[in-house]
Amino acid sequence: MDFGISDKMKIVLEMINEFVDKELIPFEKEFLNNDFKELLPILKEKRALVKKMELWGPNHPVELGGMGLSMVEHGLVSEALGRTPIGHYVFGCQAPDAGNIEILHLYATEEQKKKYLEPLTAGDIRSCFAMTEVDMPGSNPVMLETTAIKDGKDYIINGHKWYTSGADGSNFSIVMAVTNPDAPVYAQASMIIVPTDTPGFNLVRNIPVMGHSGSDYSSHGEILFQSCRVPQSNLLGQEGMGFILAQDRLGPGRIHHCMRWLGICNRAFDLMCKRASTRKISPDGKTLSSKQIIQEWISESAAEIQAARLMTLYAAWRIDTVGAKEARDDIAMIKFVVANTMQKVIDRALQVHGGLGMTDDTILAYLYRHERAARIYDGADEVHKSSIARHILRKFK
Ligand SMILES: Cc1cc2nc3c(=O)[nH]c(=O)nc-3n(C[C@H](O)[C@H](O)[C@H](O)COP(=O)(O)OP(=O)(O)OC[C@H]3O[C@@H](n4cnc5c(N)ncnc54)[C@H](O)[C@@H]3O)c2cc1C
């Protein structure tokens, strides 16, 4: 196992970190105080700068104009970009598009690639991913009510989805629907590409999440599919392959998420240390950093971030060397370890800032609100824990 990086990657990371510090972190004030939709023209300019520096699409395959980085390399990029909430978006590797690009690259037909994958990787359009349903448990995804029934050359889709992140402003959605109800449970569902302007694709609302409904990329949609008709040629892969595609999408996606969360940890940690070192708490000029409990939070956070980071790089290295299937327990472990580390670190950083931490004058309150979801999406922590335990206990039977 070698996490050493090439000279080229060192330069890439330096350039990204510099861009994040100079172009993105100063822009956060506007990001926090404006509707995402209104920021699109400025974000487009920033994306153009990234393209000019040839840093666009770090995870995209080279033939699609990306950098074609390995899992470990892209993990490191994701960590650098995660220091700001707009990093991934500006570099064209934001979820859920990144995952959609991966499966379109693997499974789309030539026609689908031309129509959806190419403009998506170029950043000309956005996409969303509609799997979770309002009335069904996302933790047991085989329980799906959404159906896609054949009618002539079309599918007719009916169902009620939510948490379709970034649906607002998306050009198309990849929808998970039951196409083969009589097949074994894991072969019942398929993924189908549904352009969002198809009649019957109804964006009911952007769900208010922690006090924020947002817009465009920064939103989570509730979607009602009502007799939504799309050609059968919009099927992705084969019928009944939905869960195989979902697995392909989620494995690498978890590395991106975890490294992004580690970027968030680094940012919160730096803010905590800076505040602790400068906030005077007594007339003799002593700062918060002189207090043992604050020192304890700082050293515990440093150790926990390092442990989580090494676990994540190890999982990425396992994906690169033995594949996502073999590495599934490593991937499941980082999901809950990193999500919980992030929450502890953000919480401590916020606490160190006192009343200031609760305001939107720093990024911490935003991170506190938005990143709570990390323990729920991409599989709730408890689901990953029970899956790991099942695999471990099998050996003791
Ligand atoms: C911010 C955010 C963005 C999201 N983006 C998307 C998206 O783009 N596309 C999409 O399709 N979905 C998305 N989701 C949905 C997400 O994947 C689901 O919320 C998640 O899978 C959990 O499903 P659920 O909400 O139905 O919870 P449930 O399945 O109802 O579970 C509720 C709780 O029960 C507990 N639980 C569940 N199963 C077990 C078990 N086996 N053992 C012990 N405890 C258990 C867990 O604590 C869990 O949190 C997003 C969610 C959030 C919060």
- In the reported structure, the alpha carbon of residue 349 is separated from the centroid of ligand 1 by a whole-number distance in angstroms of 27
Tell me the mean pLDDT in the region 212-225. 97
CATH 1.10.540.10 maps onto the chain at: 7-100
Q: Which homologous superfamily does the CATH classification assign to the domain defined by 7-100? A: Acyl-CoA dehydrogenase/oxidase, N-terminal domain (1.10.540.10)
Ligand 1 atom nearest residue 166's Cα: 8
Q: Tens digit of pLDDT for each residue in 18-32?
A: 999 999 999 999 999
pLDDT over 80 (residue 314)? yes
pTM over 0.85: yes
Tell me the mean pLDDT in the region 187-203. 98
**Looking at residue 61, what is its pLDDT?**
87
pLDDT over 80 (residue 58)? yes
Mean pLDDT for all residues in the chain: 95
pLDDT band at 360 (very low <50, low <70, confident <90, very high): very high
pLDDT over 80 (residue 157)? yes
Task: Determine the Cα–Cα distance for residues 160 and 78; give it in Å rounded to an integer.
Answer: 32
- In the reported structure, the alpha carbon of residue 376 is separated from the centroid of ligand 1 by a whole-number distance in angstroms of 5
Task: Give the closest residue to 159 by CA, choosing from 131, 125, 186.
Answer: 131
pLDDT over 80 (residue 238)? yes
**Looking at residue 323, what is its pLDDT?**
87
The residue nearest atom 22 of ligand 1, judged by CA position, is 138
Which residues line the pocket of ligand 1, CB cutoff 6 A?
96, 129-132, 137-139, 163-165, 220, 373, 376-377, 379-380, 382-383, 386
**Looking at residue 341, what is its pLDDT?**
98
Looking at the chain, how many residues does it have? 397
- In the reported structure, the alpha carbon of residue 332 is separated from the centroid of ligand 1 by a whole-number distance in angstroms of 15
pLDDT over 80 (residue 98)? yes
- In the reported structure, the alpha carbon of residue 163 is separated from the centroid of ligand 1 by a whole-number distance in angstroms of 9
- In the reported structure, the alpha carbon of residue 20 is separated from the centroid of ligand 1 by a whole-number distance in angstroms of 31
The residue nearest atom 31 of ligand 1, judged by CA position, is 139
* 189-195 and 172-178 strand pairing: antiparallel
**Looking at residue 59, what is its pLDDT?**
84
**CATH 1.20.140.10 is the classification of domain 243-394:** yes
Ligand 1 site-directed mutation target among 94, 131, 132, most atoms within 8 Å of CB:
132
What CATH architecture applies to the domain 127-236?
A: Beta Barrel (2.40)
* 189-195 and 201-206 strand pairing: unpaired
**Looking at residue 320, what is its pLDDT?**
83
- In the reported structure, the alpha carbon of residue 41 is separated from the centroid of ligand 1 by a whole-number distance in angstroms of 33
- In the reported structure, the alpha carbon of residue 150 is separated from the centroid of ligand 1 by a whole-number distance in angstroms of 29
Residue labelled with tokens 């190419």: 118
CATH 1.20.140.10 maps onto the chain at: 243-394
The residue nearest atom 25 of ligand 1, judged by CA position, is 138
**Looking at residue 319, what is its pLDDT?**
87
Ligand 1 atom nearest residue 176's Cα: 11
CATH 2.40.110.10 maps onto the chain at: 127-236
One-letter amino acid at 137 equals P
pLDDT over 80 (residue 251)? no
Residue 128, SS3 per DSSP: strand
Residue labelled with tokens 């699409």: 57
pLDDT over 90 (residue 292)? yes
Q: Tens digit of pLDDT for each residue in 36-53?
A: 999 999 999 999 999 999
pLDDT over 80 (residue 250)? no
Tell me the mean pLDDT in the region 245-249. 85
**Looking at residue 255, what is its pLDDT?**
87
